[in-house]
């Protein structure tokens, strides 16, 4: 089969698997997650060996200048606690409440005629991501728990790892009532292009990756897209900021994981802090090997430091024109001085990607104004932007970050992967018909009486 025929076959299988799964007990989805964790643990040695092959090939690409170091960092499953976190994410998702079958609205239209708004899965998902192979497991877990089928496409740089992770998931699914095609993986761009045209089968596309990847997908499909193109996050140090908090929040936001989409890329300084808080923050950043791209006032303050940090000359320089619109994804931070809180809010709204932005402030009114005024999916007070994460929020794991304003926003966990349907039930002896209702003589009037629905899942 050619790519188009393959894509149609995959999409049809995903839709059919989704439809079949809707009549399978929800407990079976939880069991599937436990089976997936077992299978991953059993295949750990082989998966990490495959990951080493991907990392070695990626390193060669970085050395040749064809791949960014940031992408390489996202690829390695052995770094830190990535592997253990991935497994724990599966268990955490399994333990979360079922997001489907929950009633968010209940009203009695007439005696014995009850309307319910009930949460339900979205359908067949197409998830496209770059580098991070653990996303395969994250997305599969969330899709299964929320009752959605998923087609997964990782970047070519993670092919070896992705194939073995997908194989482990398929093996686990074969031990359950869920169709084996409930989670599928594809390998080629041609298949992606063909799938993006199949809106009769695919219900939602979720891209995770670079600006160019997300924008390309947004411009080449009729299917709804949920995701974010950039992670251009800012931290603003208010006039009322505490020095110690400022140092801790700014350094962590930038240094903890510079390649992440929730790392800070811009630091805004209230003009009153340039001679007070900024020197201490700058010293801490320079000590962490951060390159500072500064406007004139912030750079002048650095040149006045005594004694001057050893790396000041190499790590502090004038900000280029595009500095405040650049997602560095490295130990580089753009710095700008603003005259007021209002100016800081205006800068963020004009330059950020509406992902996550933080204010360091002791003045409650200033903090509240920042939270209200900044139009981003996450607005934090005295906290690192790095907290913007589904796992840290308690969602178990996340399918991605959405900077849109419709349906889901911020870290998207289980609740972002369900929609709802309206269920109308008549308990009348003869059923209910619309013709009996109206304003004329002898016609019934709608009662529209709200009532509390049972807390148990609607369908059970």
Residue 459 has pLDDT above 70, yes or no: no
pTM score over 0.75:
yes
Least confident of 27-31, 161-165, 297-301, 397-401: 397-401
Which pLDDT score, from 0 to 100, does residue 456 have? 57
Q: What is the mean pLDDT of residues 164-174?
A: 95
109: closest CA among 460, 436, 419? 436
DSSP letter assigned to residue 225? B
Distance from C-alpha of 146 to C-alpha of 182, rounded to nearest angstrom: 12
Q: Indicate the length of the chain as a whole number.
A: 460
Residue 14 has pLDDT above 90, yes or no: yes
Residue 353 has pLDDT above 70, yes or no: yes
Angle at the Cα of 238 from the Cα atoms of 232 and 240, rounded to 5 degrees: 155
Residue 229 has pLDDT above 70, yes or no: no
Residue 333 has pLDDT above 60, yes or no: yes
Helix pair angle (278-287, 243-255), 10° resolution: 30
Q: What is the mean pLDDT of residues 222-228?
A: 86
Which pLDDT score, from 0 to 100, does residue 195 have? 95
Q: Give backbone dihedrals phi and psi of 185, rounded to 5 degrees, phi first.
A: -120, 140
pLDDT band per the 50, 70, 90 thresholds, residue 325: very high
Which pLDDT score, from 0 to 100, does residue 460 have? 55
Residue carrying the six token digits 């929730």: 262
Structural domains of the chain, ranges and CATH numbers in brackets: 3-227+409-417 (3.40.605.10), 233-394 (3.40.309.10)
Task: Tell me the pLDDT tens digit for each residue of 113-134.
Answer: 999 999 999 999 999 987 789 9
Q: What is the mean pLDDT of residues 273-289?
A: 98
């Amino acid at each position: 089969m050619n790519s188009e025929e393959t894509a149609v076959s995959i999409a049809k299988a995903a839709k059919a698997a989704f439809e079949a799964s809707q009549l399978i007990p929800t407990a079976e989805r939880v069991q599937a997650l436990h089976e997936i964790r077992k299978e991953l643990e059993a295949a750990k040695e082989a998966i990490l060996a495959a990951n080493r092959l991907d990392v070695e090939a990626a390193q060669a690409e970085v050395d040749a200048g064809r791949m960014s170091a940031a992408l390489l960092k996202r690829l390695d499953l052995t770094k830190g606690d990535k592997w253990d976190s991935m497994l724990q994410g599966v268990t955490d998702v399994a333990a979360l409440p079922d997001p489907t079958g929950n009633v968010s609205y209940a009203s009695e239209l007439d005696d014995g005629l009850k309307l319910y708004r009930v949460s339900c899965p979205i359908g067949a998902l197409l998830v496209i991501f770059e580098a991070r192979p653990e996303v395969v497991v994250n997305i599969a877990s969330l899709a299964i728990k929320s009752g959605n089928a998923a087609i997964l496409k990782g970047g070519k740089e993670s092919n070896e790892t992705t194939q073995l992770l997908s194989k482990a998931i398929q093996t686990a699914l074969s031990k359950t009532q869920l169709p084996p095609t409930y989670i599928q993986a594809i390998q080629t761009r041609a298949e992606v292009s063909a799938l993006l045209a199949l809106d009769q089968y695919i219900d939602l596309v979720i891209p995770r990756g670079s600006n160019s990847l997300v924008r390309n997908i947004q411009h080449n499909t009729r299917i709804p897209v949920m995701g974010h193109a950039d992670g251009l996050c800012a931290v603003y140090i208010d006039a009322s900021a505490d020095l110690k908090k400022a140092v801790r929040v700014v350094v962590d936001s930038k240094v903890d994981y510079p390649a992440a989409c929730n790392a800070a890329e811009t630091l805004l300084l209230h003009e009153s802090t340039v001679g007070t808080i900024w020197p201490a923050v700058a010293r801490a950043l320079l000590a962490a090997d951060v390159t500072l791209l500064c406007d004139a006032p912030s750079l002048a303050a650095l040149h006045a430091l005594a004694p001057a940090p050893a790396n000041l000359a190499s790590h502090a320089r004038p900000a280029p024109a595009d500095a405040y619109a650049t997602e560095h994804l490295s130990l580089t931070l753009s710095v700008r001085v603003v005259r007021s809180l209002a100016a800081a809010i205006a800068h963020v709204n004009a330059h950020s990607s509406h992902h996550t932005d933080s204010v360091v402030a002791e003045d409650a009114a200033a903090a509240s104004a920042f939270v209200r005024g900044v139009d981003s999916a996450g607005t934090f007070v005295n906290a690192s932007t790095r907290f913007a994460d589904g796992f840290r929020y308690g969602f178990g794991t996340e399918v991605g970050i959405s900077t849109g304003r419709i349906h889901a926003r911020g870290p998207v966990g289980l609740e972002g992967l369900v929609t709802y349907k309206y269920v109308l039930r008549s308990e009348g002896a003869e059923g209910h018909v619309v013709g009996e209702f109206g304003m004329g003589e002898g016609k019934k009037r709608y009662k529209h009486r709200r009532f509390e629905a049972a807390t148990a899942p609607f369908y059970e």
